[in-house]
Amino acid sequence: MVFINSCFGDNKITLNNLFIRISSLLQNNNSKKSSKSSLKKFENKLTKREKVFQKCSESNILVEDEDEFEGFELSDLKTITTLGIGGFGRIEHVQNERAILMECHCDFIIRLHKTFRDSERVYMLMEYCPGGDLWTVLRSFLRLDEKKARYYCAAALEAFDYLHKHLKPENMLLDINGIPKLVDFGFAKRLPSEMDRAWTFCGTTEYVAPEVILGEGQDSGVDIWSLGIFLYEMLTGSPPFAASEPMLTYGAIIKGVQNLSWPRYISDNSRLLIFKLCRKNATQRLGYGHFDDLRKDIWFEGFDFTSFRNHSMRPPIRPKVLSLTDTRNFDRFSSTDDFACGTDEDGWDEDF
């Protein structure tokens, strides 16, 4: 599980990704009786799952049920290891991420179980993906073949059916079975209709679509563009547009993918798909308005989306995980919680 610890002050949020070691959940003796019961049930379930995992690690493990955290209280939880600092985000981004994740029920989007708050922080109890992120996996493989890339592109497409957000390997985590989950929805936006556009300039430099750079507004077309960049990075090991300075990268993006140099090992079908996904005119990109058009492309020929969705398709990469609470696939950071916090009485966190 990942525990997002958000400290507020001056209308800003400091985010820390924290891991909860399950064995520490029962340490608080002041919990209410119902809460203790919920914790005990969860500990028993985890013990059974751990035994199954150790005996047959090739089988899919159901790590977390939909409602098994319902009886948890903030006093039951203890954060002991910081996995990384997410930087600064504004209050509206934290509110936005909570609202969106609470409504999402997709196997390829990270699950938000429950939220809490105290006088200084808000907390998000989220699904734990011990496989780490796809970017780290990509670094170890250097580049992925088409079969592996197809699997992760399919996961992005499934997530896009539920919401639109900026895609990149760092924002795709792998659960204990290797199933990819999209994360980080602070900049995702709810549009009144398919005809509406968003105008916020956001996203990773190498993944920003031309219309965002040019201030033309954005819709689902930016996600199709990012899927093309995502595919290129998986197949080559690096994004197609990269320079020493952001403005140089933006200039290359505006020139378009037709000016790229293509490694010989990229197949004609992969190259053609990237061209279709990264057309300058967003409305002409393959899948614009109808993601099923993308699924029907020749590049996905033979890919069984039904078995992919029900997880009978074996993930191409199985993470090296020794237990359900293993953290080996994450970088180590100091666990000290010494950043400054303040109190906030604006009531923005009432829903937590």
CA distance 266 to 271: 7
Cα 55 to its chain centre, rounded Å, is: 29
Q: Which of 50-59, 119-128, 151-160 has the highest mean pLDDT?
A: 151-160
Angle formed at CA 162 by CA 182 and CA 150, multiple of 5 degrees:
55
pLDDT range class, residue 254, cuts 50, 70, 90: very high
Q: What is the pLDDT of residues 112-139, one digit of tens each?
A: 877 777 776 777 787 888 899 999 999 9
**What integer is the mean pLDDT of 106-111?**
88
Per-residue confidence (pLDDT) for residue 212, from 0 to 100? 87
**Mean per-residue pLDDT over the chain, rounded:** 75
Q: What is the pLDDT of residues 317-338, one digit of tens each?
A: 999 888 777 888 877 655 545 5
Per-residue confidence (pLDDT) for residue 327, from 0 to 100? 80
CA distance 151 to 294: 14
- What secondary structure, in 3-state letters, does the chain show? CEEEEEEEECCEEEEEEEECCHHHCCCCCCCCHHHHHHHHHHHHHHHHHHHHHHHCCCCCCCCCCCCCCCCCCHHHCCCCEEEEEEEEEEHHHHHHHHHHHHHCCCCCECCEEEEEECCCEEEEEECCCCCCEHHHHHHHHCCCCHHHHHHHHHHHHHHHCCCCCCCCHHHEEECCCCCEEECCCCCCCCCCCCCCCECCCCCCHHHCCHHHHCCCCECCHHHHHHHHHHHHHHHHCCCCCCCCCHHHHHHHHHHCHHHCCCCCCCCHHHHHHHHHHCCCCHHHCCCCCCHHHHHCCHHHCCCCHHHHHCCCCCCCCCCCCCCCCCCCCCCCCCCCCCCCCCCCCCCCCCCC
**Domains along the chain with CATH numbers:** 2-126 (3.30.200), 134-309 (1.10.510.10)
> How distant, in Å, are the alpha carbons of 22, 54, 57, 126, 273 from that of 323?
12, 7, 9, 18, 39
The amino acid that residue 13 corresponds to is: I
By percentage, how much of the chain surpasses pLDDT 90? 35
pLDDT range class, residue 152, cuts 50, 70, 90: very high
CA distance 352 to 339: 21
pLDDT range class, residue 7, cuts 50, 70, 90: very low
Q: What is the pLDDT of residues 32-42, one digit of tens each?
A: 444 555 556 65
Per-residue confidence (pLDDT) for residue 197, from 0 to 100? 45
Token pair 């990149």 in the structure block, residue: 168
Please give the model's pTM, rounded to 2 decimal places: 0.76
By percentage, how much of the chain surpasses pLDDT 70? 61
Angle formed at CA 69 by CA 63 and CA 73, multiple of 5 degrees:
140
Per-residue confidence (pLDDT) for residue 200, from 0 to 100? 54
Contact yes or no for 3/19 (Cβ under 8 A): yes
Question: Is residue 215 scored above 50 in pLDDT?
Answer: yes
**What integer is the mean pLDDT of 185-195?**
51
